[in-house]
């Protein structure tokens, strides 16, 4: 399934960062990360989701973690230098980032937000993240992603509890 390039893909082209585009058909609209990994035939440990939070200081932070894990809010707050962080409401996502729920990419947000990639990405040859819309993903080296978003690696995820 070949689709037209997304703004994320154009950004990667412009910065001359090699990537592999992936498209998937989402039968009922947005799907969770485990389903995306399966549709792409990828190990779920290499497919990452983008989560946006707000700290106690009112600053926003982006965390990029494996799709089968959850954000460890205490570890995330520590990494961000905040007393606490909380997920933003879904209604806030589009105005803040320019992306809809299920299609949020750490790349190409309306505004550059402090970004943290889960340290598990560091040892992988490539990670797959949203290409900025539902049905599109990009696969690229984690260090290239980290450089481009001016992020850093930190231990910010944990096993799902429920």
Domains located in the chain, CATH noted: 7-159 (3.90.960.10)
Can you give the C-alpha Rg of the chain in angstroms? 15
Mapped onto helix, strand or coil, the DSSP state of residue 93 is helix
Measured distance between the N- and C-terminal CA atoms of the chain, rounded to whole angstroms: 34
As a whole number of angstroms, the distance between CA 119 and CA 152 comes to 9
List, for residues 137-159, the tens digit of each pLDDT value.
999 999 999 999 999 999 999 99
Note the pTM of the prediction, 2 decimals.
0.94
- Digit-coded pLDDT (tens) for 14-26: 999 999 999 988 7
Q: In the structure, how many helices (H) and strands (E) does the chain have?
A: 5, 10
| pLDDT tens readout for residues 79-105 | 999 999 999 999 999 999 999 988 999
């Amino acid at each position: 399934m070949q689709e037209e390039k997304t703004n994320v893909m154009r950004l990667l082209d412009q910065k001359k960062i090699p990537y592999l585009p992936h498209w998937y058909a989402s039968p009922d609209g947005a799907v969770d990360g485990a389903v995306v990994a399966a549709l792409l035939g990828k190990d779920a440990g290499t497919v990452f989701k983008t989560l946006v939070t707000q700290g106690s200081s009112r600053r926003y932070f982006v965390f990029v973690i494996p799709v089968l894990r959850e954000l460890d809010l205490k570890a995330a707050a520590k990494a961000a230098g905040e007393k606490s962080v909380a997920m933003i409401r879904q209604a806030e996502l589009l105005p803040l980032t320019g992306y809809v729920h299920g299609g949020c990419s750490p790349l190409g947000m309306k505004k550059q937000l402090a970004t943290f990639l889960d340290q598990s990405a560091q040892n992988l040859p490539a990670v797959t993240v949203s290409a900025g819309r539902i049905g599109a993903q990009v696969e690229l080296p984690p260090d290239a992603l980290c450089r481009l978003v001016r992020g850093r690696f930190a231990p910010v995820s944990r096993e799902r509890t429920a």
